Structure 1
Amino acid sequence: MSSSSGPGDRTVLPVTAESPVRSVPKTWSIRRLFSHVRVENLVAGLSGGVVSTMVLHPLDLVKVRFAVSDGLQLRPKYHSISHCMRSIWQKEGLRGLYQGVTPNVWGAGASWGLYFFFYNAIKAYIKEGRQTELSPTEHLVSAAEAGAMTLCLTNPIWVTKTRLVLQYSSDPSQKLYKGMVDALVKIYRQEGVPGLYRGFVPGLFGTSHGALQFMAYEELKRDYNKYRNMHSDAKLNPLEYITMAALSKIFAVATTYPYQVIRARLQDQHTRYNGMMDVMRRTWRNEGVLGFYKGMVPNLIRVTPACCITFVVYEKVSRFLLDQHK
């Protein structure tokens, strides 16, 4: 996965008046970056995202409904996580708890797959030709770049997922969207490309969430392996992966959760905001600081096991696939 050349290598000629120093064209660096991509990372990340989403989608639905609960009369009122789930079950059954699962599976699978795909390629590119480990800052930057690239491709899926989970009627004939494809088509026809990219700016801020999570995950693994006197990339057992993933996720959620509330409200079809600053002003004025943390408890209950499942599946599948090609 590495070569003898480093990321900053240049072809150096003797410096004379006739022969200045010349560097390899930029396209060569891009070609080197893409030489590090591995389909195995894409497949492993996709597998982890799909499995965790299928298991825990109902909690994601609850989190979104709490995040947008700004007092509008049309919204159902929920007193707790269990009350929300019971109410949906009583009115709409299992189908109600899995509203929006299709774009969620597509979005989570694509996002995790692409994230690991880009992240590992960027890491390998930065580390090319080096004997030293990546620093926390380099892990942070690699994860942020991977997150931004992933969001550009997946934001329309997340918009459709938010719209679908916020359809409150139990009567299918009264629902605006019939499914993921219908939602994508209607949003595009009625709102154009900007409609498909609602919440993109806070989503970009949200890349800091993934960046902090991956930085913490990498540093925890490396420090733990140093404590064991093992190589920094040494294989861990499932319980150890779960512990590292859970700690890194809790750290990232506690640090960055408000952006998820802002993003969900921008994507909500029931209320119109004039951009991110309008959401922040109105949320602060009407609900105070706690308004920015609505839904965080169900989110933590959902994302922590989801992250653990995703990372364990990813680590196992990626190692299996990569070992097949050795």
Structure 2
Amino acid sequence: MALSDSSKQSLIPSFLYSSSAKTLPFSHLLSHSHEPAVSQPPMFSNRSQSAATAAGGSFVIPAPSEPSRKIEMYTPAFYAACTAGGILSCGLTHMAVTPLDLVKCNMQIDPTKYKSISSGFGVLLKEQGVRGFFRGWVPTLLGYSAQGACKFGFYEFFKKYYSDLAGPEYAAKYKTLIYLAGSASAEVIADIALCPFEAVKVRVQTQPGFARGLSDGLPKFVRSEGALGLYKGLVPLWGRQIPYTMMKFASFETIVEMIYKYSIPQPKDQCSKSLQLGVSFAGGYVAGVFCAIVSHPADNLVSFLNNAKGATVGDAVKKLGLWGLFTRGLPLRIVMIGTLTGAQWGIYDAFKVFVGLPTTGGVTPAPAAATPTTELAKV
């Protein structure tokens, strides 16, 4: 029984006669048959090919489509993607833990009233209701988004820059120093972006009635202490954030490398993306615990100075004492920063995977061994 034209056409995959498909003549492919090609399973049988040829016209197949455009490493697009990932990871996570941050700041400022974590939440709930737990979330979101953009974007830039200055051999040998230098350089810039928002956030969170949030708190703060007052806590902020970030990045890179080297029996590039992201979160959480311990004294100073007009570091040490400077609010901050840092690395690397980039960290390849030719040249 003869087949109609429409029946013949239905036997052929739709991309062969779709007007939108990019196609190449079959004869053109035959003329290049001497070129090596990767063997692939046929898309259709010989019978279908014969039917297609008999249907009239030259036989055509689609030109191979290019894979989705991937971001090349260390290009402007790469650094832009890292910046965007930093915005998401820092802004969202800090905003999510605003209740914990609120209790921590009040415990640091008024330990008599906020004696513990549980009583602190109870006092806030009684005096300000559930809405009070998220007081200051806007300056938190905006401030830490700006900080995250600079922190992660400039870290990737400085890590590459310092590695290039050192050269392949010394970059591999002193990689931890490069992580430390790159993260410290990035954090100096990041804190300049964060400082004004941090000043307003602390004042809003620790002085009920000062302001509802950023929109009215920022102008009120400037009228009270001037524009430079927004940067009164910059040096203590550097004292808190630079050690924190150095620990955050260097320990994370080291922990992730050790996980892939000693705990996972296959190379990183053979692991599933979900496993890689799990490693990122675990490495980030452990790194966060170290970060909280290292940076906690400076965190107490930042809270104290931004809460009291005209206060100095000496005033803070006198009132809190050295022991209180190192320990007041520390257990809560360990829980908060550990969770925060783990989530930040998870979100950051998830975004990198989403845009086609590899996750951060892994086993550093050894420098290439010198070839015999190179050895002869040295002689």
| Other structure's SS at 1:130 match | helix
Give the partner amino acid of 1:149.
I
Matched, 1:303 2:337: yes
Matched, 1:58 2:103: no
Spell out, residue by residue over 1:122-149, the C-alpha distance to the aligned partner (whole angstroms, 9 max, x if none). 1122223636535211111111111111
Judged with a 3 Å threshold, the aligned counterparts in structure 2 of structure 1 residues 37 and 145 are, in CA distance, closer, same or farther, namely: farther
Give the partner amino acid of 2:193.
L
Q: Distance in 2 between matches of 1:279 and 1:92?
A: 27
Q: Distance in 2 between matches of 1:317 and 1:310?
A: 11
Matched, 1:189 2:219: no
Matched, 1:315 2:353: no
Give the partner amino acid of 1:93.
G
After TM superposition, give the deviation of residue 265 of structure 1 in Å. 0.3
After TM superposition, give the deviation of residue 37 of structure 1 in Å. 6.4
1:20 paired residue number: none
| Other structure's SS at 1:177 match | coil
1:279 paired residue number: 316
Q: Distance in 2 between matches of 1:34 and 1:201?
A: 33
2:195 paired residue number: 155
Q: Distance in 2 between matches of 1:160 and 1:233?
A: 47
1:178 paired residue number: 212
| Other structure's SS at 2:135 match | coil
Matched, 1:221 2:273: no
2:63 paired residue number: none
| Other structure's SS at 1:38 match | helix
2:281 paired residue number: 242
| Other structure's SS at 1:79 match | coil
Judged with a 3 Å threshold, the aligned counterparts in structure 2 of structure 1 residues 146 and 191 are, in CA distance, closer, same or farther, namely: same
Judged with a 3 Å threshold, the aligned counterparts in structure 2 of structure 1 residues 84 and 70 are, in CA distance, closer, same or farther, namely: closer
The answer (yes or no) to whether the contact 2:237–2:302 under 8 Å persists in 1 is yes
Q: TM-score, normalised by structure 2?
A: 0.67
Matched, 1:113 2:113: no
The answer (yes or no) to whether the contact 2:259–2:279 under 8 Å persists in 1 is no
What number of residue pairs does the alignment pair up?
A: 276
Q: Distance in 2 between matches of 1:242 and 1:91?
A: 36
After TM superposition, give the deviation of residue 233 of structure 1 in Å. 12
After TM superposition, give the deviation of residue 291 of structure 1 in Å. 4.1
Give the partner amino acid of 1:258.
P
After TM superposition, give the deviation of residue 35 of structure 1 in Å. 5.6
After TM superposition, give the deviation of residue 317 of structure 1 in Å. 0.3
Judged with a 3 Å threshold, the aligned counterparts in structure 2 of structure 1 residues 51 and 176 are, in CA distance, closer, same or farther, namely: closer
Q: Distance in 2 between matches of 1:233 and 1:145?
A: 33
Q: Distance in 2 between matches of 1:81 and 1:278?
A: 25
Q: Distance in 2 between matches of 1:233 and 1:223?
A: 16
After TM superposition, give the deviation of residue 322 of structure 1 in Å. 4.1
Spell out, residue by residue over 1:78-113, the C-alpha distance to the aligned partner (whole angstroms, 9 max, x if none). 232122112212322221000111111112222122
Judged with a 3 Å threshold, the aligned counterparts in structure 2 of structure 1 residues 37 and 114 are, in CA distance, closer, same or farther, namely: farther
Which structure carries more relative contact order (alpha carbon 8 Å, separation 6+)? 1
After TM superposition, give the deviation of residue 43 of structure 1 in Å. 1.0
Spell out, residue by residue over 1:156-184, the C-alpha distance to the aligned partner (whole angstroms, 9 max, x if none). 0100110111123xxxxxx2223202221
Instruction: Point out the more displaced range, 141-150 or 222-231.
Output: 222-231
Mapping for residues 1-326 of structure 1, pairs under 5 Å: 38-69=79-110, 77-128=113-164, 130=168, 132-133=171-172, 135-168=175-208, 175-206=209-240, 207-227=242-262, 228=264, 230=267, 236-269=275-308, 272-273=310-311, 275-284=312-321, 288-323=322-357
The answer (yes or no) to whether the contact 2:95–2:137 under 8 Å persists in 1 is yes
Judged with a 3 Å threshold, the aligned counterparts in structure 2 of structure 1 residues 142 and 182 are, in CA distance, closer, same or farther, namely: same
Give the partner amino acid of 1:111.
Q
Q: Distance in 1 between matches of 2:340 and 2:292?
A: 13
Q: Distance in 2 between matches of 1:81 and 1:272?
A: 28
After TM superposition, give the deviation of residue 58 of structure 1 in Å. 0.4
Judged with a 3 Å threshold, the aligned counterparts in structure 2 of structure 1 residues 68 and 232 are, in CA distance, closer, same or farther, namely: farther
Q: TM-score, normalised by structure 1?
A: 0.77
Q: Distance in 1 between matches of 2:289 and 2:184?
A: 18
Pairwise CA RMSD: 2.5
The answer (yes or no) to whether the contact 1:36–1:125 under 8 Å persists in 2 is no
Percent identity of paired positions between Structure 1 and Structure 2? 22
The answer (yes or no) to whether the contact 1:57–1:98 under 8 Å persists in 2 is yes
After TM superposition, give the deviation of residue 64 of structure 1 in Å. 0.6
Give the partner amino acid of 1:44.
G
Give the partner amino acid of 1:139.
Y
The answer (yes or no) to whether the contact 1:262–1:292 under 8 Å persists in 2 is no
The answer (yes or no) to whether the contact 1:139–1:211 under 8 Å persists in 2 is yes
After TM superposition, give the deviation of residue 211 of structure 1 in Å. 0.7
The answer (yes or no) to whether the contact 2:85–2:149 under 8 Å persists in 1 is yes
Q: Distance in 1 between matches of 2:86 and 2:130?
A: 27
After TM superposition, give the deviation of residue 51 of structure 1 in Å. 2.6
